[in-house]
Each structure stands twice: as C-alpha cells, then as structure tokens.
Chains A and B, each alone.
Chain A
C-alpha cells in the first residue's frame, strides 16, 4: 500500500515543518521542497508506465507522435511550473510564484504552436471559400 506510505511521509513532514517554521522558516521551506521531491520520485516509476501505456495506444490509433509528445511535454512543464510556484507561494513570495506561472503558460503556448497551426489549417481547409 504505497498510498499509506505517502500519507505517512506527508504527515510526518508537515509536523516537522510546523516545528521548524517558528525557529527557522528558511529550513522549513527546504523540508517542504524535499518532501515534494520525495513523493514525486516515489510515483515516478508508476507515472512512466502510465505514459508508456498511453503512448502505445496512441501509436495504435495512428496519432502523429509529434502531437502526443507535445501534449506530454506540456504536462511536464505544467507540473514543474506548479511545483516551483507552490514552493514560492508557501514561502510567502506570491509575486515570484505568479511570475513562474506566467513563464510556464508562455512556454506552453509556444510549445503548442504546431498543434494550433495544424488546427487552424484544418479549419481553413474545411471553410468554404
């Protein structure tokens, strides 16, 4: 039961952070970063098998790999941006957090350009002249 393990890690580190926050808030932030990283690393192998499953079905359905990889990359960027922004928010720097989120959105839009252009091309092709 991995969920029990993860909940345990979360609860223990929450208590540790609460103890440390009064004395040394800067180290409390680091504990919360490491907790996030550890929980993600516990899930990483399962996540990669899910991605492989999706990819195999995408191949069978003849979806162009460019599109699938773009969606995958967007998911990854969204996850990392969210992670960084949440850490900044927790430490009280909501200005920096919103900048990180803005950067994530801009990079995602840039990555989605090929998908958007192909969609628009399709719309132009379908539209009667």
Chain B
C-alpha cells in the first residue's frame, strides 16, 4: 500500500506540472495557479493521513501514552 502512495503523489505532481505549463502557454495564469493549488491540497490530504499513521505507530511502539 505504501509504495503505491509514492507513485500516486509523483503522478499528481507530474500531471499538475504539465497542466500548469499548458495553461500558462495558453495565457490562463489564474487557472494555472488554481490547478497548482488544487494539486497541492489533494496531495497534502493524502500525506496528512500517512503522517497520522506514522505518529500513531511511533506512539504505540515507544509507549508515548
């Protein structure tokens, strides 16, 4: 499950980069900005969940309450 996530985030990053370039070339800077922001938020939501899992695991292993 873990390695999937790395590839998924990488794919989102590449997709957002390409969309960004396309939108900037066609003169829609605002939409390019919005695409970047949306991609960032989607990835952040995925990463936050994983960080929560990491913290829970560390807490249970090292008995941090």
Contacts and interface: CB of A to CB of B under 8 A. Distances in A.
A40 interface: yes
Contacts of B64: 73, 76-77
Interface size class of B (residues with CB under 8 A): 20 to 34
Interface of B is mostly: helix
Question: Chain A interface residue count: which class?
Answer: 20 to 34
Given A28-B13, A44-B61, A80-B58, 6 more contacts: A13-B6, A27-B16, A37-B54, A41-B2, A41-B57, A77-B64
Contacts of B14: 19-20, 23
A27 B12 contact: yes
Chief secondary structure at chain A's binding surface:
helix
Interface string B22-65: 00000000000000100110011011001101110111111110
